[in-house]
Chain A
Amino acid sequence: MSKQPLIGRRSWRPSWPVSTDKVLKRRRYFGTKRSVLRLSGSYNPKTLQRELVLTDKKPTFWLLGLLLILILPIAASNERFFALFGIICIYAAINVMWTLIIGTAGLQSFATLATVGVGAYGAAYLSITYGVPWPAMLVIGLMLGALMGFLISLPARRLDGLYYALLTLGLSEFCRNFVTQSDQLGGKFNGALFGVDRIVPSDMMTTWLGQALLYVSAFALLLAALAVFRWVNGGRLGLLLRTSATNKEDEAFASAIGINIQRARTWVFIVASAALGAIGAFYAAYIGGTSLQVFSIDLLLLMLAMIVIGGLGRAEGAVLGTIIVVGITQWFTEWGPWRIVLVGVLALLSVLYTRNGIFGLKVQLSEIRQRRQALHRAALTSRYAAFLPQQAPDILDKSIIVGRTFERELRDRLKGWITPALIEEHRKKPLGQHSDHLERILNYFRQGPIPDKYAVYCEEPFQSYRVVALSGMPGVPPRVVDDKVYPSLDEAYHAVFLRRVNDLRTS
């Protein structure tokens, strides 16, 4: 037998020692109940010493990630960087809102870019025609988006899954055709509108300041989108929808406890669409015009790839997916069509091998690790009495370990005593003094833990009995183990015995 390697790990996790003499001043974000850092006190299970553990690392990662996105282009101070990250921010904002629709509301809508386009064209048209300034364009986009959202949400009440997806996909095509055939919307110029009020005036765009300002405005758009996501997904609407998210039974359950899913979905859809409309208007003001590109199927599919690669249903997935896909398509322009192939391959890999994009990988990997660990341990277990040394750190009550060791030896001994003669002895006389071996076997059975312990259920006194298993949990009734009915208590006792013998033998 090879030497057992020592167990015990020292892996890093963010924790701090605590001075219990001092008052912990817990600060909260202005106007909210959220603490600045979610530090949680605990006792180190190895030393019982107090420590503060960062329980929720997500806010820290968000903060660092967003800072990076903000600072990188400014530090680079390069026109190409500004443009690239500006587009990343805008697409990421769109994707975050789309995530709200697909993830939170659970609606398979592809009308996302159509809504953005309606906001863009509407706001651009009014800006060109009536000289509406860009801040007002945002409001117009917001209203148009909300209207779109309301209209598109109507068929969702009746159409499911694929049919709804097709309908919304068709909407983009309809919008594109509408623009192409409409003179006012630049149909003559293949749908291109120019001369919209810009966020940063054209003349400033040649300066570093102008480029930086424009970029910061796009970054602010992303922040706003994330705020909306947090407000909806983390708020009451999100909570209601999560109750009913996973399947049809959950929907039935949710409506049974008084949640109006349809209404919650519609609200999420309208809010997200309003935001998308505003993003469209922002986009028009950002580039000083708009084009039919927003209604194109290829862009829509590219954005879908972003969401799929990042991980559906998560804001961080939408942002990271956008960075990857936009990075590939906009930065490596010299690769030509191979960029698109690469994105396609990434999306395919993501669909084939990950359960939920990059951000689903953590859970997936830890599950794979657990499975491998379980297999590995199962292969090793026969060498050890009951538990492997590496299982010990997870078992708080060490008496479980020695108890299992004892039980294993006991069971091996008892198993050897079970013979047809012994079973017959019990059948003849289930109660009372038995042979030494049978007594010891019975005592082992009778002392077992309550969960799943067999008992007899009396349907009709002195007429019909069944075998049941106790739950061991207050509030949970015993369960009937089979459909056999026994006419006498002695027969029921023997049926319990046979089941226990079988359990012992097969263990």
Chain B
Amino acid sequence: MATTTITGYTDKVSVAPGGEITFHISVENAESAHVEIVRLIHGDEHPDGPGFIEEVIASSISGDHPVSKQFVDVGNAVVIDDPAERLALTGPMTLHAYIYPTTPAKGRQVILGRFSLTETAGYALGINGEGRLTFWVGDGSDTDEITSPVPLMHHTWYFVSASYDPRSGKALLHQEAVVGPYNGRLGKVAPFDHRSSVEQKLRIKPKSATTPFMWAAAANAAPIRGAYKDFVYNGKIDRSGVFDRALTLDEMKAVHAGQQLSPGPLAFWDTAEGYGPEGIDDVVRDTTASGLNGRGVQRPVRAMTGYNWSGKHDDWRVAPEEYGAIAFHDDAVVDCEWEPTVVWTVPEGTRSGAYAARVTIGDVEDHITFFIRPVRATAPILYLMPTNSYLAYANEMIVHHVPVGQAILAHPAVLTEAEADYFQDPRFGRSTYDHHSDGAGVCFASWKRPILNMRPKWRSSAIGTTWQFPRDLSLIAWLESQGYDYDVATDHDLSEQGIDLLKQYSVVLTGSHPEYWHEAGLNDLEDYLAEGGRLMYLGGNGFYWVISYRDGEPELMEVRKGEAGMRAWQSEPGEYYHQTSAERGGIWRNRARPPQKLTGVGFTTQGFDECHPYVRMPDSYHKSVAWIFDGVEGEVFGDFGLALGGAAGLETERYDLELGTPPHTKLLASSTSWSDNYAGVVEDILFNHPGTLGTQSPTVRADMTYFTTAHNGGVFSTGSIAWMSALPCFKYTNNVSQIMKNVLDAFSKPGTLPGGAWDQEEKSWT
């Protein structure tokens, strides 16, 4: 029986009242779907909490809308802009490229060419089903090919070239490896001889394909679906070119040697052209008079080490000519490019918050999440939802790919139907915690695709609890339950509006796991706090990874995971610098900005077997901070929660003067004595040794801190992801909630903070 499925995404992360938001929806096996706009209040369905809560909003788009199935054109390519059809070659021709195939054995792949599978026409240089370099021509009904006698080796640079003269029928295919001490997986001591030159007559003359010249893909098409890319290549491509004559073997070798031939090429793409001080765009530039520039689709990765990487530089900005490689992946998706289904103009006066288009067909339902920000502040409290970090985790599937995953997470994966289905066909791309099909880490994450874990009821298969967005809804439910007036904005709004967004508020609340920050956002938050702003940092492992966006593309985020940090993958040597911002990626701590400098605490451990209560530390009885614990009985608090039964746990932080915790910081509470599943973070470990795990390491803990900043500013940090999931317990009446209330009440009022009077030298007689 056919099953109805619904999914979709919005064109932007957040919208202000008065603005428009577009929903791109795909439905299988139905023609019409019912759409309502809902405000999301609580997501976690744990029986100890209030359950799922949404509020239907009267909207102009409420009702039934026609829907259809939409497809995704998965995979990277470069499409050459060739309006004069100069590359529609049917006469003599030569293609040449530097390539670094990563999965030559996966099946047919195109490197360069203008080939249409539906038309069986065109020409292409690529890799055949046996992993051999191949040049194909198609005459409209049949194809012929010339194939290298020896398979290509993966993770090895090659100069490859094919020439063909239809008049004589003679084709020449040449390959030779470029092996240096740095540029490939193997060095010179592995005695491979990769050279081969082969000549053969082809039996057919090419007919021109009507599809464009592409790098890394052939054109295909199917009924209903339309045109799409096929034979997508995995690996890197560096400098490449096309001649409209058939080069001899000596001429090919001259091209490899960098000599200028006369007559020159029809197109020569210098992939290192156009690198700027602010980053690299998606244009691949033809440096000949033909001007046949190309544009990368689904964001191929640039600033990759090239065939000529000397190993002397680890930064493309210093030696761009050694960084001409572009990496292509057959499963890359940064924009599904679906047709819009519904457009909603958000009415003036709509309150800010987390929203969703609830799409239903019978009992099948999906929530397509987005955020509404205020036009200007309507309250003293701002909840800054960490949308950068939501993107980083978008469609994360660790448990299916990482063998040690269950050991990291301390229990068997807990799958849902949606995840099991998605795993069968991960057509909406992966997260920055996953790998591409060739093993390379995923460094781009985009909003413009369905994101399964941006659904309010989603539970992470990795740990069986909520994660990120669904957990962060618990704070909204708590704010609602306590009757606070507050606004909601996102990382994306901070990036758009800068410090002006923050300055409108007395206090800023974070999400449970604001892990990914771009430099401007970090600067704005730091400046805001230094100028008297107040921060309630209600999470763990925050302010950790460097990310960047290209100007004007806020939906597409870049992450390069460096040589430290708790990381799912690591950039290849020399590839740590972002292409969208020309800055070094990795953890902020390794760029001299440990989170402790901003919030007093920084990432110290993670574990997923149990969460724990906090115990008050002596500092918490000091008159300057004791007000935080007004109404809290006993030493212990937070021994409950929707996340594994405690407020302290999952990923947690510690106070550390050496990492920049302000010296006047008060250590209010701490949670210790954890299991061995809580391991010390790798950036703390120089020599690994027995004793870095929870039962033996003193750094395995969660610290709650408080310090004041100039101009009546202050920072309260809970240092734990699980904190937020403790708020809804016991109908929001509990000691975690009480502490939150005490701090938020104080922080949301302008003027001096409580406890400020006790600032003199201590003289205690007891």
Contact = CB atoms under 8 A, between A and B. Distances in A.
Given A35-B200, A450-B402, 16 more contacts: A18-B193, A20-B195, A20-B197, A22-B197, A23-B198, A24-B198, A26-B146, A28-B203, A40-B149, A41-B150, A43-B150, A446-B412, A470-B400, A470-B413, A474-B426, A477-B421
A23 B426 CA distance: 44
B45 A49 contact: no
A23 B199 CA distance: 7
B695 A450 contact: no
A459 B420 CA distance: 11
Contact of A455 (B403, B410, B414, B674): B414
B172 interface: yes
Interface in B182-225: 190-193, 195-201, 203
A468 B413 CA distance: 10
B665 interface: no
B200 A430 contact: no
A431 B149 contact: no
Given A23-B249, A48-B192, A433 B150 contact: no
A331 B146 CA distance: 49
A77 interface: no
Nearest to B331: A474
Interface string B383-418: 000000000000000011111101101111111110
21 contacts: A20-B193, A28-B200, A28-B203, A35-B200, A43-B192, A49-B191, A49-B193, A431-B410, A431-B609, A431-B610, A445-B406, A446-B406, A457-B414, A457-B415, A465-B414, A468-B415, A470-B400, A474-B426, A474-B437, A478-B420, A492-B414
Across the A-B interface, give the 7 residue pairs with the lowest CB-CB distance, nearest first. A41-B149, A41-B150, A433-B675, A446-B406, A446-B407, A20-B195, A455-B413
Contacts of A40: 149
Contacts of A472: 400
B764 interface: no
Interface in A435-482: 439, 443, 445-450, 453-459, 461-462, 465, 468, 470, 472, 474-478
Given A50-B150, A450-B401, A496 B412 contact: yes
B47 interface: yes
B149 A39 contact: yes
Interface string A19-50: 01111111110011101000111110001111
Contact of A24 (B196, B402, B420): B196
A411 B190 CA distance: 36
A50 B191 CA distance: 9
Interface in B32-71: 45-47
Given A22-B197, A461-B459, A477-B420, A52 B149 contact: yes
> Considering residues B191, B198, B399, B410, which has the most beta carbons from chain A within 10 angstroms of its beta carbon?
B410
A459 B249 CA distance: 63
B263 to A, nearest CB: 23
A432 interface: yes
A455 B402 CA distance: 13
Contacts of B249: 23
Contact of B609 (A32, A52, A432): A432
A439 B609 CA distance: 12
Contacts of A455: 399, 406, 412-415, 461
Contacts of A449: 403
Contacts of A48: 190-192
Contacts of B457: 461
Given A20-B195, A458-B416, A26 B200 contact: yes
Nearest to B202: A33
A432 B45 contact: no
Contacts of A457: 414-416, 420
Contact of B407 (A52, A443, A478): A443
Contacts of B660: none
A478 B196 contact: no
A496 to B, nearest CB: 5
A477 B424 contact: yes
Contact of B403 (A18, A35, A39, A447): A447
Which interface residue of A432, A443, A496 has the most chain B CB atoms within 10 A?
Answer: A432
B253 to A, nearest CB: 11
B428 to A, nearest CB: 14
B193 A461 contact: no
Given A20-B196, A23-B249, A455-B414, A477 B150 contact: no
B151 interface: yes
Nearest to B409: A446
A439 B172 contact: no
Nearest to B457: A461
Contact of B193 (A27, A50, A448): A50
Nearest to B204: A33
Contact of A461 (B45, B190, B399): B45
Contacts of A47: 191
A432 B404 CA distance: 17
A489 interface: yes
A82 interface: no
How many chain A residues sit at the interface, stated as a range, is 35 or more
A41 B403 contact: no
B47 A493 contact: no
B52 to A, nearest CB: 10
B414 A489 contact: yes
A489 B464 contact: yes
Interface of B: 45-47, 144, 146, 148-151, 172, 190-193, 195-201, 203, 249, 399-404, 406-407, 409-417, 420-421, 423-426, 437, 457, 459, 461, 464, 609-610, 644, 674-677, 694-695
Contacts of B196: 20, 24, 41
A432 B675 contact: yes
Contact of A475 (B172, B410, B424): B424
A39 B144 CA distance: 18
Nearest to A49: B191
A474 B190 CA distance: 32
Nearest to B421: A477
Nearest to A26: B200
Contacts of A50: 150, 193
B199 A24 contact: yes
Contacts of A453: 403, 406
Contacts of A445: 406
A111 to B, nearest CB: 36
A42 B416 contact: no
B198 A26 contact: yes
Contacts of A478: 415, 420, 423
Contacts of B190: 48
A42 B151 contact: yes
Interface in A234-263: none
Interface string A200-230: 0000000000000000000000000000000
Contacts of B464: 456, 458, 489
A493 B401 contact: no
Nearest to A40: B149
Nearest to A497: B412
B133 to A, nearest CB: 11
A32 B461 CA distance: 56
A460 to B, nearest CB: 10
B15 to A, nearest CB: 31
Contacts of A470: 399-400, 413
A264 to B, nearest CB: 20
Contacts of B192: 43, 48
B128 to A, nearest CB: 12
Contact of A26 (B144, B150, B199, B459): B199
B197 A439 contact: no
B195 to A, nearest CB: 4
Nearest to A21: B195
Contacts of B416: 457-458
B609 to A, nearest CB: 4
Contacts of B199: 23-26
A494 B610 CA distance: 16
Contacts of B676: 433, 439
Residue from A31, A32, A431 whose CB has the most chain B CB atoms within 10 Å: A431
